């Protein structure tokens, strides 16, 4: 096993709690136990950003790449928003909304995301009584940034290319 492949497996284990919503969704759809990373899945990632984000391991591998690039705030915000939208309790939603604001939206915050001022102002107004769609516009903007900016770099990256070659050589042997 190559060093890169070991790192990817390590990161998948580390990220498992953050992508549990995705794993649960995939299990619910298929009613079968999760399988290992396959060549087919790795090849799907190159078809579109949407396919990358819809596969079982794609978001975690992409997050590992962004972490290596020191720009993982977008995927973390996107994943946090996916979790946030599923919160039923009003108290929990208010608490989570305040955390998301402090970490990702507030100017000069530790993981501030790149959104326009009108979206930021809308969130500031809505955070007093946050709904499940409170961060929807910011999440769309972040998704677009990832799709247009870092996703093409990910496909050209040494990380993705080595993983693809490893999977292809494992598949042919």
- The CATH number of the domain holding residue 130 is 1.10.167.10
Q: What is the pLDDT of residues 19-53, one digit of tens each?
A: 443 334 334 434 333 458 999 999 999 999 999 99
Residues 38 and 88 in one domain: no
Specify the pTM: 0.77
Query: Where does residue 108 fall: left (phi above 0), alpha (psi -120 to 50 degrees), or beta otherwise?
Result: left
Domain assignment of residue 46, yes or no: yes
Number of domains observed in the structure of the chain: 2
Q: Give the domain extent around 95.
A: 73-144
Arithmetic mean of pLDDT, 126-132: 91
């Amino acid at each position: 096993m190559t060093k890169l492949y070991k790192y990817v497996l390590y990161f998948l284990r580390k990220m498992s709690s953050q992508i549990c919503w995705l794993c649960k969704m995939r299990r619910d759809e298929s009613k079968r136990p999760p399988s290992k990373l396959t060549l087919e899945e790795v090849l799907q990632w190159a078809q579109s950003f949407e396919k990358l984000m819809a596969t079982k391991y794609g978001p975690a591998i992409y997050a590992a790449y962004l972490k290596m690039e020191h720009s993982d705030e977008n995927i973390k915000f996107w994943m946090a928003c996916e979790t946030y939208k599923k919160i039923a309790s009003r108290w929990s939603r208010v608490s989570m909304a305040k955390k998301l604001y402090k970490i990702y939206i507030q100017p000069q915050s530790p993981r501030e995301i790149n959104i326009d001022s009108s979206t930021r102002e809308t969130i500031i107004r809505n955070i007093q009584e946050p709904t499940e769609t409170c961060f929807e516009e910011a999440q769309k903007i972040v998704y677009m940034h990832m799709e247009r900016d870092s996703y093409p770099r990910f496909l050209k990256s040494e990380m993705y290319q080595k993983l693809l070659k490893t999977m292809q050589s494992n598949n042919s042997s």
